[in-house]
């Protein structure tokens, strides 16, 4: 499957053209624009795992030359989102079941650590903000808002301002597997953010960690189930 035959809409209702239009609004170089667009399209499922990424097609759709597109693809390869194969070129990296399990095991370890550290330093202002973000995230979503809302919630939950390196690790792990969630409706029906925010706000780290680990385990199970249904490699 080539990028020319990519799915037209993500689970959030956005198209490739929507992503380009939004990214083009800022003062970005051609390289940064290419990176931002391709990365967002991968992690939101607009470009599916295993999809062939033809540089000419991407350059035309983004409105840049091939050089910044190739540079962006190489950077995304270093982040685990793109793979280069002989005679095929670049493709959106697909994961095996064992790799998905490993990612969720790592996420549980790192996110539980971040959660406990954050809960120990919870303030009333952060608790109020966390509840507010949880209400938005567990409610109905406007087109193109889900990924940003989820990012905002977890950055507040894990106190991103005081834990930038930990947050970077968490978001890198989440982005590698995120396209199996957003792009395939795996997260449908999972609404746990209000409960997690409530427990974190009242300082109950043990109960909050239990909810978090249960949520990650259920996500992992659903992703693997979806991969099996769609014939992904084991």
CATH of the domain at 15: 1.10.10.10
Whether 198 shows a pLDDT value over 70: the answer reads yes
Domain limit, last residue, from 92, 120, 145: 92
Q: Are residues 147 and 46 in the same domain?
A: no
Query: Would you say residue 234 lies in a domain?
Result: no
Give the count of beta carbons closer than 10 Å to the beta carbon of residue 85: 9
CA distances from 184 to 139, 169, 173, 181 (A): 19, 24, 18, 6
Q: Are residues 56 and 132 in the same domain?
A: no
Q: Are residues 28 and 77 in the same domain?
A: yes
* Domain with 77 in it: 3-92
- Stated as kind and residue range, the H or E segment containing 71 is helix 66-78
- For residue 124, what pLDDT is reported? 95
Query: Would you say residue 216 lies in a domain?
Result: yes
Domain limit, last residue, from 28, 58, 92: 92
Domain limit, last residue, from 48, 72, 92: 92
Q: Are residues 82 and 107 in the same domain?
A: no
Q: Are residues 138 and 22 in the same domain?
A: no
Collapsing DSSP states into helix, strand and coil, what is residue 87?
coil
- 184's tokens: 């395939």
Over the stretch 66-124, which tens digit does the pLDDT of each residue have? 999 999 999 999 888 999 988 889 999 888 999 999 999 999 999 999 999 999 999 99
More confident residue, 133 or 28: 133
192: left (phi over 0), alpha (psi -120 to 50) or beta: alpha
Over the stretch 26-71, which tens digit does the pLDDT of each residue have? 767 999 999 999 998 998 888 988 899 999 999 999 999 999 999 9
Q: Are residues 106 and 219 in the same domain?
A: yes
Query: In the sheet that 82-85 helps form, which strands lie side by side, from edge to edge?
Result: 52-53, 89-92, 82-85
Q: Are residues 103 and 86 in the same domain?
A: no
> The dihedral of CA 179, 46, 8, 193: what is its sign?
positive
- For residue 56, what pLDDT is reported? 95
């Amino acid at each position: 499957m080539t990028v020319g035959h990519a799915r037209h809409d993500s689970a959030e209702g956005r198209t490739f053209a929507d992503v380009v239009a939004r990214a083009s609004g800022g003062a970005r170089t051609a390289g940064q624009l290419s990176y931002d667009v391709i990365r967002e399209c991968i992690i939101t499922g607009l470009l599916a795992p295993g999809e062939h990424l033809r540089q000419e097609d991407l350059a035309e759709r983004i409105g840049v030359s091939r050089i910044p597109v190739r540079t962006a693809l190489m950077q995304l390869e270093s982040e685990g989102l793109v793979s280069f194969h002989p005679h095929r070129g670049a493709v959106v990296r697909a994961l095996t079941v064992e790799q998905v399990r490993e990612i969720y095991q790592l996420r549980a370890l790192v996110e539980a650590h971040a959660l406990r550290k954050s809960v120990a330093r919870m303030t009333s202002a952060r608790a109020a903000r966390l509840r507010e973000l949880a209400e938005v995230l567990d409610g109905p979503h406007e087109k193109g808002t889900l990924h940003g809302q989820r990012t905002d919630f977890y950055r507040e939950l894990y106190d991103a301002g005081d834990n930038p390196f930990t947050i970077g690790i968490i978001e890198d792990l989440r982005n590698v597997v995120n396209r199996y969630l957003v792009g395939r409706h795996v997260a449908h029906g999972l609404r746990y953010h209000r409960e997690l925010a409530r427990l974190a706000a009242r300082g109950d780290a043990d109960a909050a960690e239990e909810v978090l680990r249960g949520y990650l385990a259920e996500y992992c199970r659903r992703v693997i189930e979806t991969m099996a249904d769609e014939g992904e490699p084991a």
